[in-house]
């Protein structure tokens, strides 16, 4: 009883602060910060829409959402995660520019220290956040009483689903034999 009350209060406080933090961050990004924050990853020459912040956040979130569905072998795991991020990048690149910006802004905001501290409960950058912490964040976000926080959860979770289940490597474990017709595509690797 005591615990629930405390958690709820803390949740409330967090979300209240979070709301302000997001507003603040959104404003920052909106007025000029956006260009730096929302531009596709510079290093990975081929990125068309996925930002470095997005890449870092999804890099932490996807393995946690997919859990044991991902291959155990480290090299194979890295390969399929890279395909997943490529898929998300291409997918985002087909969205209207306003939505690409919205996704970039959402990632930029989630990557800011206040959001990490308030939502995820850690000072560490996403790439160094332990999976257990990310899992706890995702669970609490899913059942949050705040629509905005649940919206963040749905956004991240559905990108993880999108990154994985259309990959050949995903299919044996889930009993999907793959499509009955094979085609090639200029825009997609279709791995």
Partner 1 sequence: MSARTILTGNTLDTDRVLEGDVAIIGSGAGGAISADVLARAGLRVVVVEEGAYRTPADFVPREIPAFAELYVEGGVRLTRDGSIGVVQGRTVGGSTAVNWTSSFRTPEPTLRYWREVLGITGLSAAELAPWFELIEKRLHIAPWETPNPNNQLLARGAAKLGWHHGPIRRNVSGCANLGYCGLGCPTGAKQSMDVTAIPDALDHGAVLVTRVRADRLRLRADRVTAVECLALDERGVKPTGRRVTLRAPWVIAAGAAINTPGLLLRSDVPDPHRLVGKRTFLQTHNYSLAFMPEIVDPFFGAQQSVYVDEFTWRDGVDGRAGFNMEAAGAQPVVSMHAWNGIGTELADFARRLPHLHTLVSQIRDGFAPDSRGGEVRLRGDGSPVLDYPITDFVWDGVRRSYLAMAECQFAAGAESVHPACSDARAYRSWAEARREIGTLRLRPLNVYLNSTHPLGGCPMGPDPRTAVVGIDCRHHHLANLAVIDGSIVPTSLGVNPSLTIYALAARAATGLAERIGGAGAAGASPG
Per CB under 8 A, residues contacting partner 1 are 64-69, 87, 90-99, 135, 138-139, 142-143, 147, 150-151, 153-155, 157-158, 161-162, 165-166, 170-171, 173-176, 179-181, 183-185, 187-188, 190
Which of 43, 180 has the CB closer to partner 1? 180
Helix axes 2-28, 97-110, angle to 10 degrees: 130
Minimum distance of partner 1 from residue 87's CB (angstroms): 6
Minimum distance of partner 1 from residue 52's CB (angstroms): 21
Which of 42, 132 has the CB closer to partner 1? 132
| b/e code 26-49 from CB counts within 10 Å (16+ = b) | beebeeeebeebbebbeeeeebeb
Which of 34, 90 has the CB closer to partner 1? 90
Which of 25, 65 has the CB closer to partner 1? 65
Cβ(191)–Cβ(163) below 8 Å: no
Cβ-based burial of 114 (10 A; exposed 0-12, middle 13-18, buried ≥19): middle
């Amino acid at each position: 009883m005591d615990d629930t009350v405390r958690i709820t209060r803390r949740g409330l406080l967090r979300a209240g602060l979070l709301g302000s933090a997001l507003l603040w961050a959104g404003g920052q990004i909106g007025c000029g910060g956006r260009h730096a924050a929302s531009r596709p990853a510079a290093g990975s020459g081929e990125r068309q829409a996925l930002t470095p912040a997005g890449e870092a956040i999804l890099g932490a979130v996807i393995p946690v959402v997919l859990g044991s569905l991902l291959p155990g072998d480290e090299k194979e795991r890295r390969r399929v995660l890279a395909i997943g991020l490529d898929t998300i990048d291409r997918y985002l690149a087909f969205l209207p520019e306003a939505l690409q910006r919205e996704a970039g802004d959402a990632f930029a905001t989630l990557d800011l220290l206040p959001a990490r501290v308030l939502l995820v409960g850690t000072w560490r950058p996403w790439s160094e956040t332990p999976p257990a912490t990310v899992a706890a964040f995702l669970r609490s976000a899913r059942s949050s009483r705040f629509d905005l926080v649940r919206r963040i959860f749905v956004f991240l979770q559905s990108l993880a689903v999108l990154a994985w289940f259309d990959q050949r490597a995903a299919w044996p474990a889930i009993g999907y034999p793959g499509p009955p017709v094979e085609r090639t595509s200029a825009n997609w690797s279709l791995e």
